Amino acid sequence: MKLLKDILYKVEIQSVIGNTDININKIEFNSKKILKNDLFIAIKGYKSDGNSFISNAISNGSKAIICNSVPSQITKDVTYIIVIDSRKTLALISSNYYDNPSQKIKLIGVTGTNGKTSSTTLMYQLFKSFNKKVGLISTNIILINNIKFNANQTTPDSLYLNYILNEMVISKVEYCFMEVSSHAISQMRVYNLSFDVGVFTNLSHDHLDYHKSFIDYRDVKKIFFDSLPKSSFAITNVDDKNGNYMVQNAVCEIFSYSLKFNSNFSLKILEKDFNGMKLLINDIELWTKLTGTFNAYNILTVFCVAKVFNISDESILQKISSLNSPEGRFELINLNSDKIGIIDYAHSPDSLKNVLNTINDIKNLNESLITVIGCGGDRDKEKRPLMGKIACSLSDKVIFTSDNPRSEDPILIIDQMKSGVKNKDKHKFILEINRRKAIQEACELARKNDVILIAGKGHEKYQITGKEKMKFNDKKILIESLKINK
């Protein structure tokens, strides 16, 4: 339990009705989870308004309410705290409730359109190989010294986030590597967290259904670097045209990395194939099991972060050779078959282009690339024609299919993807709404040494149609289909 007045430290309060010198059991923003003596904070969301559930929270036992305006009905013996910004308040009280756990570990945040999951996962692997106690908060998984926790969002809400960070403190975690999404920055989920390092990977078209414009999307990302304290470090990719913009107002020490220009940290790709790459970092050659230019950037971010923490070049580069790609990120599936399968999470135009270019750079001209791709429903519609255009221009054959259609008609989603395909490439695509059948058909079409890319869902083990979330695993279906069509 915590005293309400202690939980409210730093909160911008407009008014108080009742007593703040009371014990609070726990914090909740879902009225259904409220138990006796809990604090309920009313958050206005995009689908529902928490203020509508204040009476439910009180009925379930809440003795303190935080909200943006005085409710029309005041219940005796319940304390009401009226605040300016409930989302910011949730971040502050969550941090206070768990005694500011982010201040007790080294917290590394990675933001950008692509590369967040791969970079944070590789950092986790690397520091773990140095026998450090480590934590990971990513799209794929949340890990505390190998113990798995639920991961439902790229960056969790601030209450669960501080709970996880506190669990890391209890488990004596030294370093936590965390994805920081644009939604999380915009919705104050990472507000008041103490980051030691902030990393910018790249920026391209994504999430414009939420941010409305690319400039808004870019500027939300920049807020993360503007808020880094003077004692921290910012690491930015200057090959991206937004790399310098991201850190132009940062007050902390800034490091740059690049594959193309002069920078603090650089890397050169010497050789690459489907099994990995030979790299040159700081005049030292090494082999990595990862491949593709996008993975070269991921490896370089890992190297930068390790150097910031004063780990020697030799130690870092020796361990990099043993790092593995995260699940569903350019994951190679060949099963000793004469066909190569690849599972990748690519679901933005830039990430899809990167993956297809990597495959085309490696495969022989007489080997075909067959791509299975869809776009998610109830998400950024502007990118659908771009995805269709890129898939068809860089593949020999494309099967347009369903991703997670959600409440939308999958046929209409595919129609929007088709609309972006150039006339000269329209002979390349076929349609198969059923994703399982699309993967099976790609394996049937593939000849010896051809490459099959299943893009968009990566590590996901489900498909969302309407309100139903069904089990679905691209990797499992691809393996089964490759075995049948050896």
Q: Are 177 and 286 found together in one domain? A: yes
Yes or no: say if 351 and 116 are a contact pair by the CB < 8 Å rule.
no
Q: Are 36 and 152 found together in one domain? A: no
pLDDT at position 140 is: 79
Yes or no: say if 210 and 183 are a contact pair by the CB < 8 Å rule.
yes
Residue 153: pLDDT over 80: no
Q: Are 115 and 141 found together in one domain? A: yes
Q: Are 286 and 247 found together in one domain? A: yes
Nearest to 29 by CA among 21, 20, 38, 37: 38
| pLDDT category of residue 149 using cuts at 50, 70 and 90 | confident
pLDDT at position 211 is: 47
CATH, residue 211 = 3.40.1190.10
Rounded to the nearest 5 degrees, what angle is found at the Cα of 469, between the Cα atoms of 468 and 475? 145
Residue 30 lies in a domain: yes
Tokens of 32: 């259904």
Nearest to 347 by CA among 378, 384, 301: 384
d(CA 325, CA 318): 17
| pLDDT category of residue 282 using cuts at 50, 70 and 90 | confident
**Mean per-residue pLDDT for 342-370?**
95
Residue 394 lies in a domain: yes
Nearest to 97 by CA among 159, 140, 10, 49: 159
The domain in which residue 52 lies consists of: 2-86
Q: Are 57 and 112 found together in one domain? A: no
Nearest to 156 by CA among 132, 190, 122, 121: 190
Q: Are 409 and 366 found together in one domain? A: yes
CATH, residue 64 = 3.40.1390.10
**Mean per-residue pLDDT for 479-483?**
94
250-258 — which CB contacts under 8 Å span 24+ positions? 250/225, 250/226, 252/198, 252/228, 255/304, 255/308, 257/297, 257/300, 257/301, 257/304
* Average pLDDT value for the chain: 94
Residue 92 lies in a domain: no
Number of domains in the chain: 3
d(CA 426, CA 101): 54
Task: State percent of the chain over pLDDT 90.
Answer: 89
Over residues 51-80, the pLDDT tens digits come to: 999 999 999 999 999 999 999 999 999 999
Which residues make beta-bridge pairs with 41? 66
Which element (helix H / strand E) includes 387? Answer: helix 383-394
Residue 300 lies in a domain: yes
Question: In the 8-state DSSP scheme, what is residue 428?
Answer: G
Residue 6 lies in a domain: yes
User: Where a domain ends, among 297, 320, 343?
Assistant: 320
Classify 346 as helix, strand or coil.
coil
Q: Are 315 and 360 found together in one domain? A: no
Which element (helix H / strand E) includes 116? Answer: helix 116-129
Classify 171 as helix, strand or coil.
coil
User: Where a domain ends, among 28, 61, 86?
Assistant: 86
Task: State percent of the chain over pLDDT 70.
Answer: 98
Least confident of 4-18, 325-339, 405-419: 325-339
Q: Are 201 and 59 found together in one domain? A: no
Question: Which amino acid is present at 14?
Answer: Q
Over residues 216-237, the pLDDT tens digits come to: 989 999 999 999 999 999 999 9
d(CA 331, CA 342): 5
pLDDT at position 209 is: 58
Residue 256 lies in a domain: yes
pLDDT at position 150 is: 74
Place of tokens 């879902």: 30
Residue 447: pLDDT over 70: yes
CATH, residue 441 = 3.90.190.20
Q: Are 79 and 106 found together in one domain? A: no
pLDDT at position 208 is: 55
Nearest to 298 by CA among 112, 118, 128, 458: 118
User: Where a domain ends, among 320, 351, 369?
Assistant: 320
Over residues 402-445, the pLDDT tens digits come to: 999 999 999 999 999 999 999 999 999 999 999 999 999 999 99
Phi, psi of 472 (to 5 degrees): -160, 130
Q: Are 388 and 419 found together in one domain? A: yes
Yes or no: say if 374 and 366 are a contact pair by the CB < 8 Å rule.
no
Q: Are 17 and 162 found together in one domain? A: no
Over residues 283-302, the pLDDT tens digits come to: 889 999 999 999 999 999 99
pLDDT at position 212 is: 67
Yes or no: say if 333 and 341 are a contact pair by the CB < 8 Å rule.
yes
Q: Are 37 and 120 found together in one domain? A: no
| pLDDT category of residue 349 using cuts at 50, 70 and 90 | very high
Residue 416 lies in a domain: yes
d(CA 185, CA 188): 5
Residue 458 lies in a domain: yes
d(CA 300, CA 412): 40
